[in-house]
Amino acid sequence: MFKCDNCKRITQPREKLTKYPVEYRDRVYQYERKRRTIATYGKEIVKEINLCEDCAKKLKNLEAN
């Protein structure tokens, strides 16, 4: 059981939880290979919300359109 961050509803036991990222930040990953530093760029999740099954379906339909 958990509380949906979108509709504020307490879910039923065994209801599926969907984590949805809402905030990202840019990230630089550096590593060394043969005495040379290589940098790659990506995104890192800063904040994510918990969604119930109904809200996750609604959000998925909105993204598909």
Mean pLDDT of the chain: 93
The 3-class secondary structure across 3-25, one letter per residue, is: ECCCCCCECCCCCCCEEEEEEEE
Tens of pLDDT along 17-34? 999 999 999 999 999 988
Whole-model pTM above 0.75? no
What distances in angstroms separate CA 7 from CA 52, 54, 56, one per listed residue? 8, 9, 11
Buried/exposed 11-38: b ≥16 CB within 10 Å, e otherwise:
beeeeeebeeeeeeeeeeeeeeeeeeee
> Does residue 65 carry a pLDDT above 80?
no
